[in-house]
Structure 1
Amino acid sequence: MNLSFFDQFSSPYLFGIPLILLSLLFPALLFPSPGNRWISNRLSTLQLWLLYLITKQLMIPLNKNGHKWALMLTSLMAMLLTINLLGLLPYTFTPTTQLSMNMALAFPLWLATLLTGLRNKPSASLAHLLPEGTPTPLIPALILIETTSLLIRPLALGVRLTANLTAGHLLIQLISTASIALMPILPAVSILTMAILLLLTILEVAVAMIQAYVFVLLLSLYLQENI
């Protein structure tokens, strides 16, 4: 059976049962659970330090009202980070390469930030649609442009995460396939290709972490505008 390069992005099935839910829940099992001891082990201490660092970085631009979102944003960051990194392992599936899942994350959270602004300070939220000092003839056009840019935010969030991870996975598969095909013909070129593959894998690890951070950071910035 000949497989295409895009078959790696299809949702896995077992006896007709989709396994995407299992791939979403499995990363949570890898986090060490806190014990009942006063002094935790090194792994739990490192996990708590990283979560504190991420939470502090996300909460800096927000006021006290936005700190209520700390648990949600930090949990989303940890979930995206583990899913993206585990998806780089062989014989694994990356749920964040699915646009449907990323939009299911982006749209409700963006809508929650928008509704929060409309509830707490409706005048200031609606004022973002029209910059101050706009000439009268340009008011309808600017309102239309700002409304379009506001509505396109969740699409940009989902597409950005999907496109970056999909492109990285495709490049890794293309270069690895080329290095295997060149091994019996041009061994020197194949070794050079493997070196490029190693560098690309390191870059993809960085992209997986950065994209998870950018997704949550943009949500926190959207929240900052509405609180």
Structure 2
Amino acid sequence: MTLNLFDQFNIPQLFNITLLPAIMLLPMMMLQIKTCRFKKPRLTTLYNWFIKMMMKTTMSKASPLGQKWAPVMTATLLLLIMLNTTGLLPYTYTPTTQLSMTLALAIPLWTATVLTGARNYPTRSVAHLLPEGTPTLLVPILILIETASLLIRPVALGVRLMANLTAGHLLLQLISTATLATLAITPITSIFLAALLVLLTTLEMAVAMIQAYVFTLLVSLYLQENS
């Protein structure tokens, strides 16, 4: 039972060929390319409106240097939304439930924000490691604590995204298994569990989009501290 429960997090294969690249390319195929029309398609207009609204909320307080990150943040947000929500479809796979995938996104983005601050504002970046007015005896300890808290940020980004999505998928798996198990014994309970499963699926869809937004928002906050 335990093995079957966690089998959903295994990378699917067909004829011993991993399907992960095809799954990750599927959301990208939904995007439309630019055309020579005088009027943009409705889907393209919707994407542009969505990008503008999200950038107003995540990059509104960023400096002119941070505003240059808008295309990167937009691409990250749309990628995470599509990967998180695509995994809720039947017979699909969610790459962001793998810690290696989330860390591969979190570590480079966090490193780029730190390097941006160290390059453009080296004094201010170092000053973040020591609060103003710290007693002399506590200086080494606080520097170590602040350094540890700084280095733990990419791990927290990756683990937060992975843990929330994994917990949601496990809960859906448990409820769906209980629904099938009680179908022949107590149909009323099975109907109740099926309704609960629909509600949880809707909630998980919202969680998938919210976690993508939280990931992007935290990266933008780290960027604001270093720009």
- Which residue identity does 1:217 align to in structure 2? L
Q: Is 1:39 the equivalent of 2:39?
A: yes
Within 2, Cα distance between the matches of 1:43 and 1:108?
30
Aligned to 2:141: 141
Aligned to 2:28: 28
Within 2, Cα distance between the matches of 1:40 and 1:110?
35
Matches within 5 A, 1:81-120: 81-120=81-120
Aligned to 1:176: 176
The structure 1 segments of at least 4 consecutive aligned residues displaced by more than 4 Å after TM superposition are none
Within 2, Cα distance between the matches of 1:51 and 1:113?
21
Q: Is 1:68 the equivalent of 2:68?
A: yes
Matches within 5 A, 1:150-169: 150-169=150-169
**Deviation readout 1:164-218 (Å, 9 max, x if unpaired):** 0000001001001101110111111111111111111111011000000011111
Aligned to 1:79: 79
Within 1, Cα distance between the matches of 2:43 and 2:151?
41
Within 1, Cα distance between the matches of 2:46 and 2:113?
31
**1:15 Cα deviation after fit:** 2.9
**Deviation readout 1:131-165 (Å, 9 max, x if unpaired):** 10111121111111111100000000000000000
Aligned to 2:59: 59
**1:34 Cα deviation after fit:** 2.8
Q: Mean Cα displacement is larger for which, 190-199 or 70-79? A: 190-199
Within 1, Cα distance between the matches of 2:14 and 2:193?
35
Matches within 5 A, 1:204-215: 204-215=204-215
**Deviation readout 1:91-134 (Å, 9 max, x if unpaired):** 00000001001101111111111111111111100111111011
Q: Is 1:200 the equivalent of 2:210?
A: no
Within 1, Cα distance between the matches of 2:3 and 2:90?
16
Aligned to 1:14: 14
| TM-score of the aligned structures, taking structure 1 as reference length | 0.96
Structure 2 unaligned blocks of 5 or more: none
Query: RMSD value over aligned CA atoms?
Result: 1.5
Q: Per the alignment, in what secondary structure is the counterpart of residue 137 of structure 2?
A: helix
| TM-score of the aligned structures, taking structure 2 as reference length | 0.96
**1:55 Cα deviation after fit:** 2.1
Q: Mean Cα displacement is larger for which, 138-147 or 72-81? A: 138-147
Aligned-residue identity in percent: 58
Within 2, Cα distance between the matches of 1:221 and 1:43?
29
Q: Per the alignment, in what secondary structure is the counterpart of residue 69 of structure 2?
A: helix
Within 1, Cα distance between the matches of 2:141 and 2:153?
19
- Which residue identity does 1:104 align to in structure 2? A
Matched positions, count:
227
Within 1, Cα distance between the matches of 2:57 and 2:17?
39
**1:3 Cα deviation after fit:** 5.5
Within 2, Cα distance between the matches of 1:43 and 1:187?
42
Structure 1 unaligned blocks of 5 or more: none
- Which residue identity does 1:26 align to in structure 2? L
Aligned to 2:130: 130
